[in-house]
Amino acid sequence: MPDLRRDPITGRWVIISTQRAHRPQDFIREPVRIKGGPCPFCPGNESKTPPEILAYRPEGNEHNGAGWKVRVVPNRYPALEIEGQLDRQAEGIYDRMNGTGAHEVVIESPEHGDTYATMPERRIEDALFAFRDRVTDLRKDTRLKYVLIFKNHGEGAGATLEHAHSQIIALPIVPRQVVEELKGARDYFQLKDRCIYCDIVHQETRSPVRVVLENDNFLVVAPYAPRFPFETWIIPKRHDSAFENSPADYFGGLARAIKTLAAKLDAVLDFPAFNMVIHSAPVHDHPTEHYHWHVEFMPRLTKVAGFEWGTGFYINPTSPEEAAKFLRDAKVKA
């Protein structure tokens, strides 16, 4: 019998389909392989990107020259533009505003072939610090209400360049799914006087059937009602509503969790494409007791997703308990 499960935050129901049960080998996969070739993100090609916004490099080294560890540049084809007044208009019954915002690329390593699974933990940590530094800079701009940090890994996940990078989009609005999460978390808090994510951490730790791994500060779990096979969340054990307000000594643990999870996904699913999204509170919100930042990984395994996009209704052929067991049992270099 299939299982209908409700995500406790958003209220979204998903079907965990037993009839279509998929184990890792059942998915049609195009493994993500690094091909190499000319790359605007490689050291020596700094002039092929717009001038850098931020870079971590040894003191004294030249801006926009080589020698950097992490480099943040504007996206050459930005979805939003930083210049200009925020102009809001009605068009009859419709509402629009001009696309003011920022669209940046975080080049996470000087090594072309690095992935989260293979790069040194320290490099991932540096990328996380770069995310934080960019958010704390962008939030000074009062026009910008939300900063979205995400990674498309592999062509199947929407990446057009293979050199390790993530993207930052700063928006003059809060995206709908964030609004829903915030509302769901607030509703739960009003009912229970507890944070829903803290409750998830407790329940999953007590009965660890969906736990993938755990370290001092982070719990990595397959969520109870995943939309996608092998969807996995990294939740900080300490309550904090915003990623950028995490204590500096948290970033090492997060880097370790990301690296191990990425390596386990590679081992179990044969180098899948994936999207990673950091879910965090809107940048001008004061810290709240009800929202809890976290990171979501969504491997892209089902070659096509059918109508889910258009309906918000998901059929998932792999239960999170099974997915977690595969990932938990996968042996990877720590």
- 246-305 residues near its own copies, rule: CB under 8 A: 273, 275, 277, 296, 298, 300, 304-305
Give DSSP secondary structure letters for 134-189.
HHHHHTTSTT--EEEEEEEESGGGT-S--SSEEEEEEESS--HHHHHHHHHHHHHH
CA angle 82, 85, 89 (to 5 degrees): 120
* Of 126-134, 212-220, 225-233, 245-253: span binding its own copies (CB under 8 A): 225-233
Q: Which is nearer to its own copies, 37 or 310 (CB)?
A: 310
Query: Looking only at residues 6 through 35 of this chain, which bind its own copies when binding is defined by CB under 8 A?
Result: 6, 8, 10-13, 15-17, 19-20
C-beta of 47: minimal distance to its own copies in Å? 21
Q: How far apart are CA 24 and CA 15, in angstroms?
A: 18
Q: Which is nearer to its own copies, 111 or 141 (CB)?
A: 141
Query: Looking only at residues 47 through 66 of this chain, which bind its own copies when binding is defined by CB under 8 A?
Result: none
The two structure tokens encoding residue 319: 């239960």
Active site residue 165: yes
Tracing tokens 């050199």 back to the chain, one arrives at 163
- Determine which residue in the list 135, 138, 225, 268 makes contact with its own copies, applying CB under 8 A: 225
Residues contacting its own copies: total by CB under 8 A: 72
The two structure tokens encoding residue 137: 């800079």
- Determine which residue in the list 62, 95, 193, 249 makes contact with its own copies, applying CB under 8 A: 95
Amino acid sitting at position 83: E
**Which listed residue (163, 165, 290, 292) is catalytic?**
165
Helix (H) or strand (E) holding 124: helix 121-138
Candidates 37, 169, 35; CA nearest to 106 is: 169
245-263 burial code (b ≥16 CB/10 A, e <16)? ebeeebbbbbbbbbbbbbb
Sign of the CA dihedral running 59, 64, 70, 72: positive
* Of 53-61, 84-92, 248-256, 280-288: span binding its own copies (CB under 8 A): 84-92
- Determine which residue in the list 58, 60, 94, 193 makes contact with its own copies, applying CB under 8 A: 94
Query: Looking only at residues 152 through 191 of this chain, which bind its own copies when binding is defined by CB under 8 A?
Result: 152, 155-158, 171-173, 175-178, 180
Q: How far apart are CA 250 and CA 235, in angstroms?
A: 12
Q: Which is nearer to its own copies, 69 or 227 (CB)?
A: 227
C-beta of 79: minimal distance to its own copies in Å? 5
Q: Are 195 and 239 in contact (CB under 8 A)?
A: yes
- Can residue 78 be called a binding residue for its own copies (CB under 8 A)? yes
C-beta of 76: minimal distance to its own copies in Å? 9
Binding mask 100-139 for its own copies (x = CB under 8 A): ----------------------------------------
Helix axes 251-269, 121-138, angle to 10 degrees: 120
- Determine which residue in the list 50, 66, 313, 328 makes contact with its own copies, applying CB under 8 A: 313
C-beta of 143: minimal distance to its own copies in Å? 12
Q: Are 283 and 147 in contact (CB under 8 A)?
A: yes
- Determine which residue in the list 187, 224, 252, 270 makes contact with its own copies, applying CB under 8 A: 224
Residues with a catalytic annotation lie at 165
